Structure 1
Amino acid sequence: MATITANMVKDLRDKTGAGMMDCKAALNENAGDMEAAVDWLRTKGLAKAAKKAGRVAAEGLIGIASEGNEAALVEVNSETDFVARNDKFQDMVGTVATTALKTKGDVAKLEQAKYGSSKETVAETIKELVGSIGENMTLRRAAYLGADKGVVASYVHNTIAPNLGRIGVIVALESSGDSDRLMAVGRQVAMHIAAANPQSIDVASLDKALVERERAVLAEQARESGKPDNVIEKMVEGRLRKYYEEVVLLAQPFVLDPEKTVADALAASEKDIGGPIKVTGFHRFALGEGIERADSDFAAEVAAVASGS
């Protein structure tokens, strides 16, 4: 049996763009023959899928799955919004979200988990769909929340199909009160998170580096006033409080009643629910956020096709 080295696997991956494990399997199947391994990957459709994998996938869907007091959130990307409206793609995203409940949102485990009742993994299923639909697709991220004594509520914005859309939120609320009423409050908080995009639950859990960077900017702005240091410090603290109102969930004006903060709205709901309410976690996915999209000159693309280049 031929010895398959890491360099051989890397070379094959560079030639075909296929995954590392697929390249290793191809070399093993063909006794280390590089050209035969390339043909093997092409025959399996893996090289074709890998070629598509070089294209930017920034469209797609956010999917949510809930079961009991657990919920999972996934983002699966495609190249175009047209594919996001494909029934096969929607079914796949829904199944991936359900599977994410079992893997607690761990993307690496999710990719290797069995897809539904089939023998194939989630990663293999997505790769097959790339070949059949003809667009690059990627499982970008996943998140999970559970609540021991409470609920995990969810909300999908720009819904395309049940539990599928362009913005998805899951939020965990703990309380000993009525679970149905707590879920209704949780859904309102999830809607707020979708609209206001907070960065943390409270000030204490806000990224310290983010706070220090904001403090430095505010201090520099305040110094331009020419006021003494003790006044500048007070100016900075006042502006930081305003900043917290923008980025901290409990300090934000509640979108359904801007006269109250989210914390005030939760406190007002406690009597009706029958117990204190505590937000223990949330995740918000907006489709394609943070993905660099290649600039596209449509006229140039049409001209290139027409000229056969």
Structure 2
Amino acid sequence: MSLAENIKILREKTGAGLMDCKKALVECKDDMEQAIVFLRKKGLADMAKRSDRETKEGRVSVKTDGKNYAMIYLGCETDFVAKTDAFIKLADELAQYVLEHPGLDYSADENIKAMIVEQAPKFGENTTFKGGYNWTPAEGSVMAYYVHSDNKKASILELAVIGDCKDMEKAKEIARGLAMHTVGMQSGWVDAKDIPQAVIDRELDIYKTQAINEGKPAAAIEKMLPGKVKKFAKENCLLEQPTIKDNKKTVADYLAEESKNLGCELKVVRFVRF
């Protein structure tokens, strides 16, 4: 890929200027992720999640048999191909295969590769399997999914229902609403404790560099770091994010209220999204 093409992609990901993107790519030897970090340290890139918001062309497909839930993402080069009947059919067939074959390493599965190789020539584009999941809810949990109207974003979420629930259908409705929330709010983790230390260290390094570049004293920088980490968690962790319907109420608050209404404890176990 040419430098001009990489500059275009980096500008879309960060919102930074043309020359700033060019300098970042040159400094980072065309490493896109490092270039994003470089721009953020300079204070030239948008908020932390911006780089993750780009949706590759392709299609998500979700299948369930009532017990297991499978979700895949099939990638292609253009939106035109992603909307063709043949591409949609292949995505659905791949999701059905994943549903019927739990516990495999789907990224290296030869049958998946063969299915794509057989159909890809029809599309005239590079067609890739971006990932697949097959989840089964634990005893006492409910699972739900949400697929965005563009068929490029989706989520599966497991919600534990602990105790005697007054209305399991309501619990399932809550689970689906939370799956929708993770897509709309680009949630990264369930709770702050789930954020990998490597991610926290990266964010702290960026915050420190930005503050130093702004001329802030070292003592002031150290004092502000805990607050920066909390802000990052609030923006990226499901339970700490504000609900879509009421931005003064966190998802954790919402679950506590619904738990009281249903006479049980509702707890998000896990979620995954494309």
1:262 aligns with 2:251: yes
Residues 95 and 195 (structure 1 numbering): CA distance in 2 closer, same or farther, change over 3 Å? same
Offset from partner CA, 1:118-141 (integer Å, 9 cap, x none):
xxx333222221233433322221
1:88 aligns with 2:74: no
The structure having more radius of gyration, on CA atoms, is: 1
By how many angstroms is 1:179 displaced?
A: 2.9
Q: Distance in 1 between matches of 2:221 and 2:77?
A: 49
Residue 260 of structure 1 aligns to a residue whose secondary structure is coil
Q: Distance in 2 between matches of 1:219 and 1:198?
A: 24
Paired position in structure 1 for 2:137: 147
Given the alignment, which residue of 153, 158, 165 partners 1:167?
Answer: 153
* Identity value in percent: 31
User: Which TM-score applies when normalising by structure 2?
Assistant: 0.70
2: CA distance, partners of 1:222 / 1:184: 44
Structure 2 residue 180 is matched with structure 1 residue 181: no
- State the match for 1:283 in structure 2: 272
Residues 194-213 of structure 1 correspond to what in structure 2 (within 5 A)?
194-213=183-202
CA-CA distance at 1:202 after TM superposition: 0.9
Q: In structure 1, which of residues 43, 63, 66 is the aligned counterpart of residue 61 of structure 2?
A: 63
Unaligned runs of 5+ in 1: 1-57, 113-120, 160-164, 286-309
Segments of 5+ residues of structure 2 without an aligned counterpart are: 1-55
- Are residues 1:103 and 2:89 paired? no
Please give the alpha-carbon distance, in whole angstroms, between the structure 2 residues aligned to 1:254 and 1:215: 26
State how far apart, in whole Å, the 2-side matches of 1:227 and 1:153 are. Answer: 49
Deviations 1:278-299 (A, max 9, x none): 11111111xxxxxxxxxxxxxx
Q: CA RMSD in A?
A: 2.2
SS of residue in 1 equivalent to 2:62:
strand
Q: How does 1:34-53 map to 2 (within 5 A)?
A: none
Q: Find the aligned partners of 1:184 and 1:273 in 2 and give their Cα distance.
A: 12
CA contact (8 A) 1:64 1:71 kept: yes
Misfit runs of 4+, over 4 Å: 220-228
User: Normalized against structure 1, the TM-score is what?
Assistant: 0.63
Is the contact between residue 77 and residue 138 of structure 1 (CA under 8 Å) also seen in structure 2?
yes
